[in-house]
């Protein structure tokens, strides 16, 4: 078995044609600021930019100058091997909604694993190093570093070993991860981000204990930005289930509904009506937009992903991630 | 209020179901979600709305009331409203001939009856509405829902007719009217005879019975007969009733021409009918002349003198000679032979008829060669044109119509019960129609009035100046031949021999009051032939009634007719000798034969001065259904309103 059975042959062929699009500069572990594209390896045309004094004139595109009488410098990128870190949310919320949709781990978590497998496969096929992390409670479980294409099975085995459980302590996990990984690279976080805002609400103290108690949301932005600051190319897959976005199908009903948090067990009684439904959707949309805006502001690639009803993975990988600038 | 379908109330069990459902919906359902993070952000909005519980309570009330209303609507509630209304008074009035009978008080039964009704009408308030239906020869609504004052005026114009009471028609008709009236309707039934019990059941309201006979504590003689024995001896038979519940001992006195010739005590056990026989009574009076009229009186302490006295005509009936010819005469001949005092000669061929004088010629499916001078003829189902009439064809299933409906010999004959399968369509020449007395006719239902329905103007053939003749034309075959549809079923009816008796009596001028049982009744027409009583002219003939009043008669040519309306002894003067005719009650049932009186204690109808309330029943289905639906729609609307 040379190929993961998770995907069909055609999809794998399509995955094999994909490459990482790394646009950010990342920090090397030791030296000053360098661009990945300036490091060794095969040079490949990357882009044009306006000529600035001091640029080498041999890279001026004279053809363009002849047509536009403006000076443009051709940029070249060098393909470089870099680590790909996939950080997977394996808390209880990832298997919720419950067994009605998925009898074991939940459809959200299954989709998380599918995305991780696909991205991991791309990582290995492009000869990058791949390391998987799964976090729940305050524990960070990590896989070995995979470097070869045929090690995808090891990655899949690791994914299968993950069981969603426990609570989310994203800030602690990110902080811990930040200390664990030295080599900068591509960091992809797949999570529902429930309980965490990109920034703490104005005028409110940031307290994890309050957040865990369900009394206040916690900001995870600072920890993420730390990765950005270190030169990581960070992508966030904000994975939400359809039932989270449209939760009002039976057994939901108008009137009092007692909501139980799958992670903390905290309960809250709400009174559902059309107005509340609308307000919920607006708040959820605002939550998503906050993350989107935060990522956009800090050069983080943000993908709001809904668990698909059918074969949405292919569309996600082949279309959305390319459009989103993660792959090319 | 009452429920037409009370079992629909089982539907009210839906109400606790609704309450349970509402309570169940008030209990929050627990749902596990990935995180309550988003819900925390809208925590303020998701708290229980302040008016939620009040709204739920209101919703519950609306739904329960709505369902309750619909369930009640399904049970068809009827609301009854009592309110005072004008009295609806229905008076069923027997104005038959027997009401002319004079009671011992000196007034007729009719006068007594109308007097009592007048007092009732005067006691009614002006808002009452009175309907008066009379029963003689059918029923007639003479007053329909008028004020008591107007009804009183009508009542005073009413007079008893000469026809017998048709209580069956009266009650059948009245039952429908009464049953449509409010239950408070007061029904008065004025008659001198009780209606049949089974017909009384038709009246849901028991009427107040104004019997204008006399009190029930009475005895009566209802039958008197005399048969000659040897010499002057007669056997006298009579039937005496004791209607009271007490044993009565009376004295029976038999008079002969007002002279007492026999007297004997009679014991009548309570409520019994007893036949009395007095054989070999010598009816010779002091004058040595056999009396024409025998009178029997039962003297008790009763008030009903007219019932206690009966009269008997002793005269023998003369024989009527009848010539019958034609075809299909077997049944007709049999019927005629069953009638008394007829001498019938039958000739299958009309050519065999001798040149004798017969009192009556009957041509059945045949015609005479010519009109015999002075002869009375009955032409049945004529096969051809004859004299002044022409045959136009045949009519299938013709309607029965009468010509000269007032003819007395059609009394007791109800031709509505007769069916004719086929009749000869006869056209009487207009200028000669007066020659015929067309008694009974089947006419074309599609062309009413064309044949046989014109009124009789003259009785005699004008072409016979020397001797009057009358021709009775019956344009259908009288003989019933079973499945043969060319006949009629009249012979099956009891009126058939009555018709023939009356017809023969009229055409032959017989005296139906005489005979073996000599029981001429009030309201029964009486025909007298002038030559029989020896009168020269009709103008000389007068009639003295039991009340002593002398009346002149208006005979039509040689035949006198009158209708006695009082019981007692009539005397016809102007002939060779005074002729006495005894007249008794119309019918045995019209005697005071059972104890209902004016002031019956068993009155279920309201008293005159009683305040009348009536009940209006109104179905509430529509209102409740609409109300229930409105409530449910309101609940539906309220449930969808966001708080």
Residues in chain B closer than 8 A to A268 (CB atoms): 36, 39-40, 43, 46
pLDDT tens-digit profile of A239-280? 888 888 878 777 787 778 888 888 888 888 888 888 888 889
The whole-angstrom separation of Cα B440 and Cα B410 is 9
pLDDT score, position B183: 53
Task: Judge if B191 and B252 occupy the same domain.
Answer: no
- Chain B nearest-CA residue for A216: B40
CB-based burial of residue A306 (10 Å sphere; 0-12 exposed, 13-18 middle, 19+ buried)? middle
pLDDT tens-digit profile of B235-294? 777 778 776 667 888 888 888 777 888 888 888 887 777 888 887 787 776 666 677 778
Q: Is B293 among the domain residues?
A: yes
pLDDT score, position A131: 92
pLDDT score, position A203: 47
Q: Is B443 among the domain residues?
A: yes
pLDDT tens-digit profile of A112-150? 888 888 888 888 888 888 999 999 888 889 999 998 888
pLDDT tens-digit profile of A271-305? 888 888 888 999 999 989 989 999 988 888 898 88
pLDDT score, position B487: 72
- Chain B nearest-CA residue for A264: B35
Beta carbons of A257 and B36 less than 8 Å apart = no
Band the pLDDT of B633: cuts 50, 70, 90.
very high
- The partner residue sitting opposite A194, judged by closest CB among B35, B46, B49, is B35
Give the domains, in start order, of chain A with CATH numbers: 9-17+80-240+301-323 (3.40.50), 42-78 (no CATH)
- The partner residue sitting opposite A96, judged by closest CB among B28, B33, B45, is B33
Q: Which of B37, B40, B56 to mutate to test the interface with A (most CBs of A within 10 A)?
A: B37
Distances (CA, A) of A138 to A92, A265, B125, B453: 13, 17, 104, 122
Task: Judge if B409 and B391 occupy the same domain.
Answer: yes
Look up residue A301 and give its two tokens.
Answer: 């690639």
Q: A307-321, B22-36, B435-449, B545-559: which range is least confident on average?
A: B435-449
Beta carbons of B42 and A280 less than 8 Å apart = yes
Per DSSP, the three-state class of A174 is: helix
CB-based burial of residue B68 (10 Å sphere; 0-12 exposed, 13-18 middle, 19+ buried)? buried
Task: Judge if B256 and B108 occupy the same domain.
Answer: no
How many C-beta atoms lie closer than 10 Å to residue B128's C-beta?
21
Q: Which of A271, A285, A286, A288 to mutate to test the interface with B (most CBs of B within 10 A)?
A: A271
Residues in chain A closer than 8 A to B54 (CB atoms): none
Of the residues B213, B230, B259, the one at which a domain ends: B213
pLDDT score, position B323: 92
Q: Is B606 among the domain residues?
A: no
Which A residues 180-199 touch B at CB under 8 Å?
Answer: 192, 194-195
Q: Is the dihedral of CA B627, B633, B638, B639 positive or negative?
A: positive
Tell whether A260 lies on the interface with B, counting CB pairs under 8 A: yes
Helices A9-16 and A107-125: crossing angle, nearest 10°? 50
Q: Which of B27, B38, B48 to mutate to test the interface with A (most CBs of A within 10 A)?
A: B38
Look up residue B250 and give its two tokens.
Answer: 């009376």
pLDDT tens-digit profile of B307-361? 677 777 766 556 788 999 988 788 888 888 887 778 899 998 888 888 778 888 9
- The partner residue sitting opposite B642, judged by closest CB among A108, A273, A283, is A273
pLDDT score, position A141: 92
pLDDT score, position A100: 46
Residues in chain A closer than 8 A to B30 (CB atoms): 257-260, 267
pLDDT tens-digit profile of A56-83? 888 888 888 888 888 888 887 665 678 8
pLDDT score, position B401: 63
Tell whether B37 lies on the interface with A, counting CB pairs under 8 A: yes
B512 has a pLDDT exceeding 80: no
Please confirm whether the linkage preceding A229 is cis (ω < 30° from 0).
Answer: no
Mean of pLDDT values over B591-614: 42
- Chain B nearest-CA residue for A165: B34
Tell whether A285 lies on the interface with B, counting CB pairs under 8 A: no
Q: Write out the residue range of the structural domain in which residue B566 sits.
A: 520-589
Beta carbons of B31 and A283 less than 8 Å apart = no
Q: Which of A170, A256, A267 to mutate to test the interface with B (most CBs of B within 10 A)?
A: A256
pLDDT score, position B362: 92
Contact B606, B186 (CB under 8 A): yes
Q: Is B602 among the domain residues?
A: no
Beta carbons of B38 and A287 less than 8 Å apart = yes
Tell whether B641 lies on the interface with A, counting CB pairs under 8 A: no
pLDDT score, position A27: 35
Domain total for chain B? 5
pLDDT score, position A1: 40
Q: Is B618 among the domain residues?
A: no
Task: Judge if B412 and B479 occupy the same domain.
Answer: yes
Look up residue B370 and give its two tokens.
Answer: 């010519």
CATH value at residue B253: 2.60.40.150
Mean of pLDDT values over B143-160: 88
Nearest-CA distance A250 → chain B (Å):
10
Count H helices, E strands: chain A? 11, 12
pLDDT tens-digit profile of B373-431? 667 888 888 888 877 677 878 877 777 665 554 555 555 666 667 778 888 877 766 65
Residues in chain A closer than 8 A to B41 (CB atoms): 217, 283, 287
Residues in chain B closer than 8 A to A197 (CB atoms): none
Residues in chain B closer than 8 A to A96 (CB atoms): 32-34
A175 has a pLDDT exceeding 80: yes
- The partner residue sitting opposite A279, judged by closest CB among B31, B37, B42, is B42
Of the residues B284, B316, B348, the one at which a domain ends: B316
Task: Judge if B412 and B488 occupy the same domain.
Answer: yes
B207 has a pLDDT exceeding 80: no
pLDDT score, position A89: 92
The whole-angstrom separation of Cα B415 and Cα B425 is 18
Task: Judge if B327 and B379 occupy the same domain.
Answer: yes
- Chain B nearest-CA residue for A108: B34
Contact A153, A161 (CB under 8 A): no
Beta carbons of A271 and B32 less than 8 Å apart = no
Dihedral angle computed from the Cα positions of residues B66, B69, B74 and B77, in that order, rounded to the nearest 10 degrees? -170
Q: Is B359 among the domain residues?
A: yes
DSSP code string of A191-252: E--TTEESSPPTT----HHHHHTTSS-EE-HHHHHHHHHTT-EEEEEEEE-HHHHSTTSTT-
Contact B627, B68 (CB under 8 A): no
Residues in chain A closer than 8 A to B35 (CB atoms): 93, 192, 194-195, 261-263
Residues in chain B closer than 8 A to A283 (CB atoms): 38, 41-42
Q: Which of B34, B45, B46 to mutate to test the interface with A (most CBs of A within 10 A)?
A: B34
The whole-angstrom separation of Cα B126 and Cα B129 is 8
Task: Judge if B549 and B639 occupy the same domain.
Answer: no
pLDDT score, position B352: 86
Beta carbons of B32 and A256 less than 8 Å apart = no
Residues in chain B closer than 8 A to A192 (CB atoms): 34-35
Beta carbons of B25 and A253 less than 8 Å apart = yes
Tell whether B31 lies on the interface with A, counting CB pairs under 8 A: yes
Beta carbons of B28 and A287 less than 8 Å apart = no
Q: Is B197 among the domain residues?
A: yes
Task: Judge if B64 and B97 occupy the same domain.
Answer: no
pLDDT score, position A29: 33
Beta carbons of B29 and A251 less than 8 Å apart = yes
The whole-angstrom separation of Cα B480 and Cα B380 is 13
A157 has a pLDDT exceeding 80: yes
- Chain A nearest-CA residue for B53: A255
- Chain A nearest-CA residue for B45: A276
Tell whether A271 lies on the interface with B, counting CB pairs under 8 A: yes
pLDDT score, position B627: 92
Task: Judge if B336 and B187 occupy the same domain.
Answer: no
Of the residues B213, B238, B271, the one at which a domain ends: B213
Band the pLDDT of B626: cuts 50, 70, 90.
very high
pLDDT tens-digit profile of B82-106? 555 556 788 888 887 667 766 656 6
Tell whether B24 lies on the interface with A, counting CB pairs under 8 A: no
Tell whether A214 lies on the interface with B, counting CB pairs under 8 A: yes
Look up residue B24 and give its two tokens.
Answer: 């169940």
Q: What percent of chain B has pLDDT over 90?
A: 6
Q: B360-364, B622-626, B639-643: which range is least confident on average?
A: B639-643
Which A residues 16-35 touch B at CB under 8 Å?
Answer: none
B449 has a pLDDT exceeding 50: no
B502 has a pLDDT exceeding 50: yes
Task: Judge if B471 and B363 occupy the same domain.
Answer: yes
Nearest-CA distance B632 → chain A (Å):
19
Task: Judge if B460 and B337 occupy the same domain.
Answer: yes
Nearest-CA distance A85 → chain B (Å):
25
Residues in chain A closer than 8 A to B643 (CB atoms): 273
B268 or B480, higher pLDDT: B268
CATH value at residue B574: 2.60.40
B454 has a pLDDT exceeding 60: no
How much is the mean pLDDT over chain B?
A: 73
In this complex, how many residue pairs, one in chain A and one in chain B, have their CB atoms less than 8 Å apart?
A: 112
Identify the bridge partners of residue B250 per DSSP, sorted by sequence position. B266
Beta carbons of B41 and A287 less than 8 Å apart = yes
Contact A138, A173 (CB under 8 A): yes
How much is the mean pLDDT over chain A?
A: 77
Q: A220-224, B111-115, B432-436, B633-637: which range is least confident on average?
A: B432-436
Task: Judge if B301 and B330 occupy the same domain.
Answer: no
Q: Which of A255, A260, A276, A285 to mutate to test the interface with B (most CBs of B within 10 A)?
A: A255
Q: Is the dihedral of CA B173, B175, B180, B185 positive or negative?
A: positive
Contact B58, B638 (CB under 8 A): yes
> Which residues are within 8 A (CB) of A308 and not within 5 positions of it... i.e. 6 or more apart?
A111, A315, A316
Band the pLDDT of A24: cuts 50, 70, 90.
very low
Per DSSP, the three-state class of B100 is: helix
pLDDT score, position A31: 29
Beta carbons of B29 and A253 less than 8 Å apart = yes
B393 or B520, higher pLDDT: B393
Contact B441, B404 (CB under 8 A): no
């Amino acid at each position: 078995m040379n190929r993961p059975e998770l995907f069909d042959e055609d999809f794998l062929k399509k995955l094999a044609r994909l490459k990482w699009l790394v646009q950010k500069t990342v920090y090397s572990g030791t030296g000053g600021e360098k661009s990945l594209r300036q490091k060794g390896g095969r040079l490949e045309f990357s882009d044009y930019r306006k000529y600035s004094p001091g640029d080498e004139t041999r890279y001026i595109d004279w053809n363009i100058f002849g047509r536009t009488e403006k000076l443009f410098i051709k940029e070249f990128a060098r393909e470089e091997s870099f680590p790909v870190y996939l950080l997977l949310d394996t808390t209880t919320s990832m298997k919720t909604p419950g067994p009605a949709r998925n009898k074991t781990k939940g459809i959200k978590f299954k989709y998380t694993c599918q995305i991780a497998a696909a991205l991991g496969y791309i990582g290995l096929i492009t000869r990058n190093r791949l390391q998987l992390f799964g976090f729940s409670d305050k524990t960070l479980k990590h896989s070995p570093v995979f470097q070869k294409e045929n090690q995808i099975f090891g990655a899949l085995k690791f994914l299968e070993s993950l069981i969603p459980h426990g609570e989310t302590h994203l800030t602690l996990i990110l902080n811990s991860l930040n200390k664990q990984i030295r080599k900068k690279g591509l960091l992809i976080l797949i999570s529902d981000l429930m309980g965490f805002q990109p920034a703490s609400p104005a005028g409110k103290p940031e307290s994890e204990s309050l957040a865990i108690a369900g009394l206040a949301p916690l900001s995870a932005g600072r920890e993420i930005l730390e990765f950005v600051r270190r030169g990581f190319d960070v992508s966030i897959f904000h994975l939400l289930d359809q039932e989270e976005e449209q939760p009002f199908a039976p057994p939901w009903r108008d009137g009092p509904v007692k909501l139980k948090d799958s992670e903390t067990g905290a309960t809250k009684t709400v009174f559902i009506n059309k107005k509340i439904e609308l307000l919920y959707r607006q708040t959820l949309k605002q939550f998503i937009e906050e993350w989107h805006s935060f990522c956009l502001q800090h050069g983080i690639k943000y993908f709001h992903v809904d668990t698909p009803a059918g074969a949405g993975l292919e569309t996600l990988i082949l279309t959305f991630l390319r459009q989103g600038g993660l792959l090319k | 209020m009452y429920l037409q379908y009370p079992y629909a109330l089982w539907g009210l069990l839906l109400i606790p179901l609704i309450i349970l459902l509402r309570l169940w919906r008030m209990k929050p359902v627990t749902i596990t979600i990935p995180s309550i993070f988003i819900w925390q952000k809208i925590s303020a909005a998701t708290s229980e709305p302040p008016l939620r519980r009040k709204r739920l309570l209101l919703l519950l009330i609306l739904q329960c009331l709505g369902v309750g209303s619909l369930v009640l609507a399904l049970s068809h509630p009827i609301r009854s409203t009592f309110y005072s209304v004008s009295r609806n008074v229905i008076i069923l009035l027997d104005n038959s001939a027997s009401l002319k009978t004079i009671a011992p008080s000196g007034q007729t039964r009719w006068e007594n009856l109308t007097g009592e009704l007048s007092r009732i009408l005067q006691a009614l308030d002006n808002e009452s509405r009175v309907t008066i239906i009379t029963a003689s020869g059918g029923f007639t609504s003479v007053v329909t829902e008028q004020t008591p004052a107007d009804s009183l005026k009508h009542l005073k114009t009413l007079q008893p007719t000469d026809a017998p009471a048709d209580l069956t028609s009266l009650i059948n008709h009245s039952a429908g009217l009464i049953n449509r009236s409010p239950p408070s309707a007061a029904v008065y039934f004025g008659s001198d005879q009780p209606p049949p019990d089974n017909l009384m059941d038709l009246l849901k309201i028991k009427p107040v019975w104004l019997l204008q006979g006399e009190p029930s504590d009475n005895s009566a003689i209802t039958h008197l007969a005399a048969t000659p024995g040897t010499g002057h001896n007669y056997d006298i038979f009579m039937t005496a009733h004791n209607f009271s519940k007490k044993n009565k001992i009376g004295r029976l006195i038999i008079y002969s021409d007002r002279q007492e010739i026999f007297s004997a005590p009679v014991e009548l056990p309570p409520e019994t009918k007893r036949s009395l026989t007095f054989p070999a009574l010598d009816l010779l009076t002091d004058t040595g002349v056999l009396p024409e009229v025998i009178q029997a009186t039962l003297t008790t302490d009763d008030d009903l003198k007219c019932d206690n006295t009966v009269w008997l005509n002793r005269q023998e009936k003369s024989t009527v000679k009848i010539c019958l010819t034609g075809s299909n005469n077997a049944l007709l001949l049999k019927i005629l032979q069953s009638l008394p005092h007829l001498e019938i000669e039958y000739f299958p061929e009309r050519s065999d008829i001798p040149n004798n004088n017969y009192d009556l010629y009957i041509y059945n499916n045949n015609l005479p060669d010519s009109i015999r001078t002075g002869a009375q003829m009955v032409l049945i189902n004529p096969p051809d044109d004859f004299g002044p009439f022409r045959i136009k064809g045949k009519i299938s299933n013709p309607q029965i119509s009468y010509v000269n409906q007032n003819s007395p010999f059609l009394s007791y004959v109800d031709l509505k019960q007769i069916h004719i399968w086929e009749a000869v369509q006869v056209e009487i020449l207009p200028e000669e129609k007066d020659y015929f007395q067309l008694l009974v006719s089947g006419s074309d239902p599609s062309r009413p009035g064309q044949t046989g329905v014109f009124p009789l103007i003259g009785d005699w053939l004008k072409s016979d100046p020397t001797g009057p003749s009358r021709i009775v034309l019956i344009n259908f075959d009288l003989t019933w031949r079973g499945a043969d549809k060319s006949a009629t079923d009249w012979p099956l009816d009891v009126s058939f021999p009555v018709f023939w008796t009356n017809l023969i009596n009229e055409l032959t001028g017989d005296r139906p009051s005489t005979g073996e049982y000599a029981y001429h009744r009030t309201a029964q027409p009486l025909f007298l032939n002038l030559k029989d009583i020896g009168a020269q002219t009709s103008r000389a003939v007068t009639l003295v009634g039991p009340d002593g009043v002398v009346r002149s008669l208006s005979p039509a040519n040689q035949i006198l007719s009158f209708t006695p309306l009082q019981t007692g002894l009539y005397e016809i003067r102007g002939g060779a000798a005074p002729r006495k005719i005894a007249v008794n009650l119309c019918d045995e049932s019209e005697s005071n034969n059972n104890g209902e009186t004016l002031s019956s204690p068993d009155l279920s109808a309201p008293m005159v001065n009683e305040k009348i309330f009536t009940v209006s029943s109104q179905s509430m289905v529509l209102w409740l259904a609409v109300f229930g639906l409105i409530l449910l729609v309101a609940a539906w609307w309220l449930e969808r309103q966001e708080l």
